[in-house]
Structure 1
Amino acid sequence: MKTAKAEKIKKTLKETRERRENQVCRVYQLKLQNLSKKDIEKLDRLFLEAKWLRNFVIADIENRTKDYKYKEVEIKIPDGFEKREIKTLSSQMKQELIDQIKDDLKNLKKSKENGNKVGKLKFKSEVRTIPLKQYGVTYKISGDRNRVKIQGIKKKFRVLGLHQIPENAEITKGYLIKRPSGFYLHVVCYLPKEEVLKEIEEKRIPQPVGIDLGVKHQLTLSNGEKFNWYIPETKRLKRLQKTLSKKEKGSKNYQKINHLIKREWEYISNKRKDIHNKVISYLKRFSLIAIQDDSIKSWKDGLFGKQIQNTGIGGITARLRNLATLIPVLFVDRYEATTQTCSFCGHRQEILLSERTFKCESCGREIDRDVNSARNILKTAIEQLLWMLKVVERIGEGKLLKTLPVGSGEVKPVERVIALVEAGSLPL
């Protein structure tokens, strides 16, 4: 009986993996609406129990990851330790929280084997994410009434944003998120890859583009376009931080002001994300994107910390990496001399940071330094692309790799191009 069940599970997983190869993952955010005080207390209890369980398991990994049936846990209080009952968390939520800890331990071990210095898992003062493993069991969506049912809570919550989910989307797992502005449900869906690519193709500009990241101009394109944005800390945030410094730590007034500060930070973060979404929506129309793999962290740690923080341009690079499985995105080595090279004749010369115009000593051409750099980035990327396509031609069609997952950090450039060819994003 067990063998038949195991074979059935194995077969289902295989079918799912094959289906995922022709699908694209999308995450849709739904906000829980019209929450009463009782509803907020229940949801707060859910996240509180998640924190208790996580910290309890971390305290003694060897003995406490063997069983998922935690009906009560031991927590630390000022006078010592006390046992608390787990009432709201369902068995699947507990299982997923413990699986997350196991994954964290595996990642730490892998990082240590790679020669990195790692510490140990730390206790959390607050858990803000609860995984909902299985759609239809841990949570259900009622589209006709805009309601969501979460396992462990009897009431169905009204949600805002269900209209975003397409009818042909395959709904899978979800995540219950707690933020200063309220409670959210992130729904993971899979859409047919053909339809997503078709939608991109309809808006596509038949032109490649090179992107130069900077501090004065956040993005400069090889066609001369420039994008500037700056979202600084608000006056209200500074005023709240000043008020917080005068409150007694741990008091109710301290917690109240601290919550308002978190809401203000979320507001600022949302404004930056909105700009990133608009920029990426424009960039993904181009037939090919080339960008230099700059170390944004070193910029932030250096002289431009405030500018980098208030623009968040590092998020643009991360978003483009995620797009690489759908559209051709090529990264040029960060040590490539794109700023010091003339994009017309290829002559290389020194240029100071204060000089905003590149004047070639060889051919005499004058061009904006950022546009010149963007053109060199595009030129270098195309040269790399042609070389890699020759490698693909030598390898042969019989050795084409499967489409690579998003965030494949260890993937070589040749493998990335082969994956794009097979996916249809980069035709030979």
Structure 2
Amino acid sequence: MKKAEKIKKTLKETKGKRKNQVGKVYQIKLQNLSKQDEENLNRLFLEAKWLYNYIVADIKNRLNSTAWKLKEVKIKTPKEIEKREIKTLSSQMRQGIVDRIKHSLKALRKAKEKGLKVGKLQFKSEVRSIPLKQYGITYKISRDRNRVKIQGIKKKFRVLGLHQIPQNTEIANGILVKKSSGYYLYVTCYLPKNEVVEEIRRNRIPKAVGIDLGIKDQLTLSTGEKISWYIPETGRIKKLQKRLLKKQKGSNNYRKIKFLIQKEWEYIQNKRKDTLNKVVSHLKKFCLIAVQDDPIKSWHEGLFGRQVQNTGIGGITARLRNLATLIPVVFVDRYTPTTQTCSKCGNRQKIPLSERVFKCEVCGFELDRDWKSAIEILKEGLRKIKGEGKLLKTLPVDCGEVKPVERATALVEAGSLPLKW
């Protein structure tokens, strides 16, 4: 009982401490790996797959309080069912895998309650990530020697990227990840919230901004900027996929080409992530962000599914939701008629998608439809927080006066052109 009370007390203290901290994940790469090192790491991921599939095969009987204590499992081979011993995977890693199965079952249950069609957990052909629950036990970091020690493996690995982690940070759990380009350690750190906010405020400009999401121009800001990017599949992927079709499934050549395809996909995903990082870094400079909560997922099902996929625009709204804990971000309802409303007189009229310039039938006001929509989104965002009585609380002290967004239309008369990236 004393141990249980001590754990509860520690968890309560940690929750209270986390309220004044900001979580951040740093990526560290394991370097200078020998063949023996790769074999040891591959063994970890292989045992993780065996344990996961063994429990999933009979969840009712095998998913219990002692599931993490399993040291021997049965696996199905093409010939027969064989017993395999779990040697490298530590007890805490096994606990993490068991918790992962429980979380997956919980997510399936929630989806079923919403009325969605769900099946059961499927077997994994390959496990690519292993949770490391506790810093100092499942993994350790030696800053002075630039090394990382992973539980279950004797050798300390040399790593690249350890300098990213600040000295005043609190290191928490991690994840060991296997990619086609190598092995990575994702370290979760907690930084003091006041320091992170202060760093953002130093580069902040006293201006609010509205964001309109689109297909041709991914982001149109109420300031007149248009931000566009497009990162399609490379020609190399298409060639490799054609070669893969000609190989026998399960052969060595099949696995080699599949590995090359995975490596190429990783390269493309890294480019998309880098673009999103740069865009979000630019948006963080504004003292208030207003964005319409568009159903990006439904855009994939339309005619522009490929364009949406190749830009990864859905990641913008997800990143802004995470950013809302540090700077004011307002989400405007998706059904707000921002495209149909005139920014000058407030007249509402229908405008087809083919018309890229809005022209008011009442006052004759004329402006690019996306730009005008961004202005309306900012108006609605300011109206929303003002109506909720949160304007003074939401806007930072150093934000300055939020000027009426109608003044942005003066840029058109001045002859300013939107900026393209």
Relative to the length of structure 2, the TM-score reads 0.91
Matched, 1:191 2:191: yes
Q: 2:153 and 2:107 mapped to 1: Cα distance?
A: 33
| Residue number in structure 2 paired with 1:365 | 365
Residue by residue, what CA displacement relative to the aligned partner does 1:78-108 show, whole Å, maximum 9, x if unpaired? 1231111111100110011001111221222
| Residue number in structure 1 paired with 2:313 | 313
| Residue number in structure 2 paired with 1:27 | 25
Farther-moved stretch of structure 1 (73-82 vs 29-38): 73-82
Q: 1:269 and 1:109 mapped to 2: Cα distance?
A: 30
Are the counterparts in 2 of residues 328 and 426 from structure 1 also a CA contact under 8 Å? no
What RMSD in Å do the two structures reach over aligned CA positions? 1.8
* 1:52 alignment partner, one of 50, 53, 74: 50
Residue by residue, what CA displacement relative to the aligned partner does 1:41-65 show, whole Å, maximum 9, x if unpaired? 1111110110100010111122212
DSSP-derived class of the 2:209 partner: strand
Are the counterparts in 1 of residues 208 and 288 from structure 2 also a CA contact under 8 Å? yes
Are the counterparts in 1 of residues 328 and 395 from structure 2 also a CA contact under 8 Å? no
Task: State the Cα distance separating 1:144 from its structure 2 match.
Answer: 0.8
Unmatched runs of 5 consecutive residues or more in structure 1: 393-416
Q: 2:240 and 2:114 mapped to 1: Cα distance?
A: 43
Task: State the Cα distance separating 1:421 from its structure 2 match.
Answer: 5.3
Matches within 5 A, 1:19-418: 19-66=17-64, 67=66, 68-389=68-389
Residue by residue, what CA displacement relative to the aligned partner does 1:351-402 show, whole Å, maximum 9, x if unpaired? 121211111111111111110000011111111111111xx6xxxxxxxxxx
Task: State the Cα distance separating 1:424 from its structure 2 match.
Answer: 9.1
Q: 1:114 and 1:218 mapped to 2: Cα distance?
A: 31
Unmatched runs of 5 consecutive residues or more in structure 2: 401-421
Q: 2:166 and 2:43 mapped to 1: Cα distance?
A: 32
DSSP-derived class of the 1:110 partner: helix
Relative to the length of structure 1, the TM-score reads 0.90
Q: How many percent of aligned residue pairs carry the same amino acid?
A: 68
Matched to 1:19, the amino acid is: K
Residue by residue, what CA displacement relative to the aligned partner does 1:247-276 show, whole Å, maximum 9, x if unpaired? 111110011001000000000010000000
Q: 2:231 and 2:117 mapped to 1: Cα distance?
A: 35
Are the counterparts in 2 of residues 339 and 370 from structure 1 also a CA contact under 8 Å? yes
| Residue number in structure 1 paired with 2:16 | 18
Matched to 1:277, the amino acid is: N
Are the counterparts in 1 of residues 211 and 291 from structure 2 also a CA contact under 8 Å? yes
Task: State the Cα distance separating 1:425 from its structure 2 match.
Answer: 11
Shift in CA distance, 425/122, structure 1 to aligned 2, threshold 3 Å? farther
Are the counterparts in 1 of residues 288 and 395 from structure 2 also a CA contact under 8 Å? no
Task: State the Cα distance separating 1:317 from its structure 2 match.
Answer: 0.9
Matched to 2:80, the amino acid is: G
Q: Structure 1 runs of 4+ off > 4 angstroms?
A: 420-427
Are the counterparts in 2 of residues 327 and 426 from structure 1 also a CA contact under 8 Å? no
Residue by residue, what CA displacement relative to the aligned partner does 1:157-201 show, whole Å, maximum 9, x if unpaired? 011000100000000100000111110000000000000000011
Are the counterparts in 1 of residues 328 and 394 from structure 2 also a CA contact under 8 Å? no
Matched to 2:93, the amino acid is: M
Matched to 1:274, the amino acid is: D
DSSP-derived class of the 1:74 partner: strand
DSSP-derived class of the 2:388 partner: helix
Q: 2:61 and 2:257 mapped to 1: Cα distance?
A: 40
Q: 1:425 and 1:51 mapped to 2: Cα distance?
A: 52
DSSP-derived class of the 1:301 partner: coil
Q: 1:184 and 1:358 mapped to 2: Cα distance?
A: 49
Residue by residue, what CA displacement relative to the aligned partner does 1:251-307 show, whole Å, maximum 9, x if unpaired? 100110010000000000100000000000110111111111111122111000111
| Residue number in structure 2 paired with 1:403 | none
Q: 1:252 and 1:22 mapped to 2: Cα distance?
A: 52
DSSP-derived class of the 1:232 partner: coil
Q: 2:120 and 2:396 mapped to 1: Cα distance?
A: 40
Q: 2:185 and 2:348 mapped to 1: Cα distance?
A: 53
Farther-moved stretch of structure 1 (145-154 vs 335-344): 335-344
Shift in CA distance, 425/306, structure 1 to aligned 2, threshold 3 Å? farther
Shift in CA distance, 377/101, structure 1 to aligned 2, threshold 3 Å? same
DSSP-derived class of the 2:131 partner: strand
Q: 2:188 and 2:260 mapped to 1: Cα distance?
A: 30
Task: State the Cα distance separating 1:117 from its structure 2 match.
Answer: 2.7
Q: 2:395 and 2:130 mapped to 1: Cα distance?
A: 36
Are the counterparts in 2 of residues 328 and 425 from structure 1 also a CA contact under 8 Å? no
Matched to 2:213, the amino acid is: L
* 1:9 alignment partner, one of 2, 7, 31: 7
Residue by residue, what CA displacement relative to the aligned partner does 1:310-337 show, whole Å, maximum 9, x if unpaired? 1110111111111111111111111111
Shift in CA distance, 56/331, structure 1 to aligned 2, threshold 3 Å? same
DSSP-derived class of the 1:175 partner: strand
Q: 1:365 and 1:103 mapped to 2: Cα distance?
A: 53
DSSP-derived class of the 1:115 partner: coil
Are the counterparts in 1 of residues 206 and 398 from structure 2 also a CA contact under 8 Å? no
